[in-house]
Amino acid sequence: MMVPALRLLDDPFIFSRMLHRPTGSHKGTFGTALCLCGSRIYRGAALLAVEGAMRCGAGIVQLASVEEVISACCSRLPECTLLPLKPCPQGGPSKENLDLLAEQLPHRRALLAGCGLTQSEDTSYLVHHLVEQCECSVVLDADALNVCKSGSLPHPKKGGLIVTPHPGEMSALTGKSIQEIQQNRVQAALDFARENQCIIALKGHHTIIASPDGQVFENPTGNPGLAKGGSGDVLAGMITGLVCGGLSPLDAAICGVYLHGKAADLCAERKGQTTMLPHDILEDLGGFLAENHF
């Protein structure tokens, strides 16, 4: 199969797609993101994702999680709204919360699910049943992908689906070996996007973004300082925030991946690749966007 032309992302291409915040806009202009993230042992993943969504323009971010995560969020991110959920034995949200979560969907512009949820039967139940009720765009990351076996990816009724797997998660989703995926990342991403009718950001060195209609992009930003737990949570949140701000699912994935890597490059100059942490890059993201009048 012939691979379509691969577009290398750069600053002008990204900023031609970013949206300025109109004068007279209000929080409702930029939508509400519902973030189903976090568990007793992965509290930080939820906070990183939520802050990523906030820093990329969502009008309101609502964190739906268990009490331990909610409590951690209150002190660090007072701007976040909260939806406390009942826990399951593994420490993540219980499937008993489905109706409560579904009640939120008609008023949400984007759903993010997966960051720090744990791999449990409850997570699988919630992810599949909640996504299939969505009429908004959905971002699936981490454990929301880990509980989806090959061919079982849920889709929203309306709105786009964005998935952000690393090669290991991609292997589980496709049944292909990591080596096979890494040998031809572009084709692997394109095939997955077409077969599953979704936007995919196949993470790694030079992340590949592909769409169902055959568009494919390569991201040149980023560095080994991102090779730390939590980096992907920030990215998933950023993409979610960009969707809330009005970008299409494809543009949100493209811009989110590029800006995430660009901020990491700036952060590495400031702190060094060894000592930089995932939450540090959000400070550099703000500086980069401000310099470019966003």
Q: Tens digits of per-residue pLDDT, 61-83?
A: 999 999 999 999 988 999 999 99
Tell me whether residue 11 is in a domain: no
Percent of the chain beyond pLDDT 90? 96
Tell me whether residue 64 is in a domain: yes
Tell me whether residue 135 is in a domain: yes
Tell me whether residue 3 is in a domain: no
How far is residue 191's CA from residue 194's CA, in Å, rounded to a whole number? 5
Tell me whether residue 22 is in a domain: no
Do 188 and 209 touch, CB atoms closer than 8 A?
no
CB atoms inside a 10 Å sphere around CB 184: 12
- What is the domain count for the chain? 1
Residue 266 pLDDT > 60, yes or no? yes
| Segment 48-53 mean pLDDT | 98
- SS3 of the chain: the string is CCCCCEEECCHHHHHCCCCCCCCCCCHHHHCEEEEECCCCCCHHHHHHHHHHHHHCCCCEEEEEECHHHHHHHHHHCCCCEEEECCECCCCCECHHHHHHHHHHHHHCCEEEECCCCCCCHHHHHHHHHHHCCCCCEEEECCHHHHCCCCCCCCCCCCCCEEECCCHHHHHHHHCCCHHHHHHCHHHHHHHHHHHHCCEEEECCCCCEEECCCCCEEECCCCCHHHCCCCHHHHHHHHHHHHHHCCCCHHHHHHHHHHHHHHHHHHHHHHHCCCCCCHHHHHHHHHHHHHHCCC
pLDDT digits over 118-161, tens only? 999 999 999 999 999 999 999 999 999 999 976 789 999 988 99
Tokens linked to 40 = 């007793």
Instruction: Report the pLDDT value the prediction gives residue 149, as an integer from 0 to 100.
Output: 76
| Segment 6-18 mean pLDDT | 97
| Segment 11-40 mean pLDDT | 96
CATH number of the domain residue 44 falls in: 3.40.1190.20
Instruction: Report the pLDDT value the prediction gives residue 102, as an integer from 0 to 100.
Output: 97
Residue 89 pLDDT > 60, yes or no? yes
How far is residue 153's CA from residue 196's CA, in Å, rounded to a whole number? 8
pLDDT band at 35 (very low <50, low <70, confident <90, very high): very high
State whether the Cα torsion 200-192-125-43 is positive or negative.
negative
CB atoms inside a 10 Å sphere around CB 41: 13
Tokens linked to 145 = 């992908």
pLDDT digits over 161-207, tens only? 999 999 999 999 999 999 999 999 999 999 999 999 999 999 999 99
Q: Please provide residue 63's backbone torsions phi and psi, each rounded to the nearest 5 degrees.
A: -95, 120
Instruction: Report the pLDDT value the prediction gives residue 286, as an integer from 0 to 100.
Output: 96
Residue 2 pLDDT > 70, yes or no? no
Percent of the chain beyond pLDDT 70? 98
Q: Report the chain's mean pLDDT, rounded to a whole number.
A: 96
Domain of residue 151, residue span: 28-291
State whether the Cα torsion 82-86-92-98 is positive or negative.
negative
Tell me whether residue 255 is in a domain: yes
Tell me whether residue 63 is in a domain: yes
Tell me whether residue 260 is in a domain: yes
Instruction: Report the pLDDT value the prediction gives residue 152, as an integer from 0 to 100.
Output: 84
Instruction: Report the pLDDT value the prediction gives residue 5, as an integer from 0 to 100.
Output: 82
pLDDT band at 3 (very low <50, low <70, confident <90, very high): low
